[in-house]
Amino acid sequence: MGIRDRVTDSASSMLQAGRDRVHAVRGPARSINDTWKRRRFFATNPSRAADSYTRTRENEFFQLASSLVSDIERIETDTEYQYRADTAQDRRNARADAVAARHDAKRAFPHLLRVLDTEVAPTSADEVVAAARALAESLRQYLRGNTVSEHLHPTDALSILYSAMYDQDEWDLPDENRDTDDPSD
C-alpha cells in the first residue's frame, strides 16, 4: 500500500467520522422536532377517535369551544383592567373591549350548542359528550351573569373536554379488549 492509498483512506475515514457525528446530532434533533410538531398539533386537535369523520367533527368543536373560552378570558382580563386602569379613557376602552368580547361569546354560543347536538353528540363517545355538555353548561352559566357558582369555570371545563377527547381511544374499545386492572383476569 502506497502513500497515496494511506492518505486517501485516512481522509475518507475522517470524512465518514464527521458525517457520523453530524448524523448523531441530526437524529435526536429530528425526533425532538417531530415531538414538538405532534404536541402543537394535539394542542388544537385533541381528538383521538377511531373514525376520521368523528375525529374531524370533535376537533372542530374543540376549536370553536377554545375560541369561546378565549372570549371569556378576554372578558375577565378587560374587567380586571377596567378597575385598575389609570385614566378614564383606559377604563372606557377596557369596558368597551369587555362588552365586545361578551357579545362575541353570546353570538357564538348558540352555534356551539348546535354543533354539539347535531355533529358531536350522535357520533362521539359518551365521556366526550358528557364533557362537552359540562362545558356548554359552564359557558351558559358564565354568560348569564359572569358567575361560576356551582359549576366549573369554562377554562377548567375545556381542559376536562381536552382530556376526554385525548384519552378516548381506550373507551371506544369493546369490553373484552379494554385494559382493566381487575385482578380476576
Residue 125 in any domain: the answer is yes
Can you tell me the distance from the alpha carbon of 75 to that of 79, in angstroms, rounded to the nearest whole number? Answer: 6
CB neighbour class for 6 (10 Å; exposed up to 12, middle 13-18, buried from 19):
exposed
111: domain range? 50-169
Tens of pLDDT, residue by residue, the chain (185 residues)? 566 666 566 667 777 777 777 777 777 767 777 777 777 777 778 888 888 888 899 999 999 999 999 999 999 999 899 888 889 999 999 999 999 999 999 999 999 999 999 999 998 899 999 999 999 999 998 998 766 656 688 999 999 999 999 888 654 533 443 444 444 44
> What is the distance between the alpha carbons of residues 43 and 152, in angstroms, rounded to a whole number?
21
Whether 114 is in a domain gets the answer yes
| Domain shared by 72 and 96, yes or no | yes
pLDDT at 148: 62
pTM for this model (two decimals): 0.71
Looking at residue 6, what is its pLDDT? Answer: 62
In this predicted structure, what is the pLDDT of residue 34? 77
Q: Residue 179: its pLDDT value, please? A: 44
* CB contact at 8 A, 58 and 47: yes
Same domain, 64 and 141: yes
Question: Residue 48: what pLDDT?
Answer: 85
Same domain, 35 and 54: no
Within-domain flag for 183: no
What pLDDT does residue 185 have? 45
**pLDDT of 117:** 95
Residue 174 lies in a domain: no
Structural domain count, the chain: 2
Instruction: Say if residue 35 is in the same domain as residue 83.
Output: no
Q: Is residue 92 part of a domain?
A: yes
Question: How much is the pLDDT for 147?
Answer: 64
Q: What is the pLDDT of residue 18?
A: 75
Do 30 and 60 lie in one domain? The reply is no
The predicted structure's pLDDT at residue 127: 92
C-alpha distances in Å from residue 5, one per residue of 12, 19, 39: 11, 21, 51
